[in-house]
Amino acid sequence: MAKSEQDRIIDEWVTKRNKRIGEIRIPQLGEYPPDIHNLYGSILNEWVTTDLIRHYADSVGDRNPLWRNQEYARGTRWGGIVAPPTFTNSILQGGPMNFELEQFRKFNTWTYHPVGNRRELLQMIRPGDRMRAIQRYLGLEEVATTLQKPTRHFVETVRRTLINQREETVAVIDTYNNFILNHPAEDTYGLKRKKYRLTDKEQKAIYRGYDEEERRGADTLFWEDVSIGEEIKLHPIGPLAAFDSAAWCTAESGHAVAFEVEWERIKLNFDFAWLDPEVNAWTCAGVCHLCDDKGHATKFTGGPAVGFPSQLDGLIGRMICNWMGDDGLVKMLNTRTLALPIVGELLYTKGRVVDKSSKDGEYLVDLEVHCDNQDGLGLMSGSATIKLPSRTDFGV
């Protein structure tokens, strides 16, 4: 079958894009002046402070004293406050992307959004660290789609290497971006759904979980005591509120500029902004995270405001740390967004031990992890590898 003109245009774009594989870029500090070739890819917080770590922990509801109480943290193996494993979201923006506007305008329709990260964490991040990054483009790949024809779906991979002031590699982060091209305008990605109203029983379970949160803390979990098949979970979280998303924006390296500085970005890329018909003014399309029926919300969900997938990332990291305790170390966390959470949904974060191994003196545990809503709809899935102490090393 002969390809359509739109398919030909898309194929040419993919070929052109993949000629950039291996290209190196140094992410700029801050969002102003905006860089159209690395939009949503800046370093927003160069310096790590106790305040920033605390703000990040607050934004995922994490009361763990290891992130916020210096006296407590001083008594752990780390000797002081350290950052949670998903804290890299407070340093780097989550969706580095080169907007080739002259090319995008040839597509019938297009949408872009970050869809996941694979983090390899090489050491703890601590207050006083100063971060920079090196970014490498790894290419664009077409993937199967369940969306309405003639949609074509691509995933782009960008690798960022975080380096501290001692020139030590702290983390290697592969970020995955979704490109949805040639998508029928009347369809909503097949994820149209309505807000959920809690039952009294669900409401009580949530607040009971908040008040009785289980956290291992200083009670060491040894590698020998972990069983394959063992299940872990975080108490139910939610319902997700617009204020929760706003709290996330205060700590995550998201898009956080206003007025004239926001206008500098909008006028570079009207295709990715949103003309609000109610007030007849341009605004960031990211308003979909705070308000119903604004920005991209109608496309993503049919109306309800959508949460930030990277906040789910933080809940998964929080669950793992609560389970493994202060002596554990997250070496790798790999997550993918399956569906955007919407305001009003409950968030159920769970995991399971799938393997154990020991290699080169390290005692490792592999986990499957996921976050679902109250109806069992998968919002995020992934895997993690953690390092635990061994009874052999401790002589117990």
pTM of the model: 0.95
Sheet of strand 169-181: strand arrangement: 24-25, 132-143, 152-163, 169-181, 110-121, 329-337, 378-387, 362-372, 348-359, 231-233
CA distance 85 to 78: 14
Tell me the C-alpha distance between 250 and 175, whole Å: 21
In 234-357, which ranges are continuous DSSP H helix? 242-251, 259-266, 297-301, 309-324
Look-up of token digits 């009874």: 391
Residues 121, 162: Cα–Cα separation, whole Å: 10
Instruction: Report pLDDT digits (tens) over 69-89.
Output: 999 999 999 999 999 999 999
The pLDDT tens digits for 18-55 are: 999 999 999 999 988 889 889 889 999 999 999 999 99
One-letter amino acid for residue 179 of the chain: F
pLDDT digits 0-9 by tens, 322-375: 999 999 999 999 999 999 899 999 999 999 999 999 989 999 999 999 999 999
pLDDT of residue 2: 55
Residue 123 — φ and ψ, nearest 5°? -160, 165
Architecture in CATH for domain 1-48+83-187: Roll (3.10)
Whole-number Å distance between alpha carbons of 396 and 391: 5
Give the mean model confidence (pLDDT) for residues 51-70.
Answer: 97
Q: What is the pLDDT of residue 279?
A: 94
- Length, in residues, of the chain: 396
- The residue extents of the domains of the chain are 1-48+83-187
Q: Which of 46, 324, 320 is nearest to 170 (CA)?
A: 46
DSSP-based helix, strand, coil % in the chain, nearest 5: 25, 30, 45
Tokens 């009580």, residue?
A: 204
Residue type at position 319: M
pLDDT, one tens digit per residue, over 301-321 is 778 899 999 999 999 999 999
- The C-alpha atoms of residue 388 and residue 364 are separated, in whole angstroms, by 6
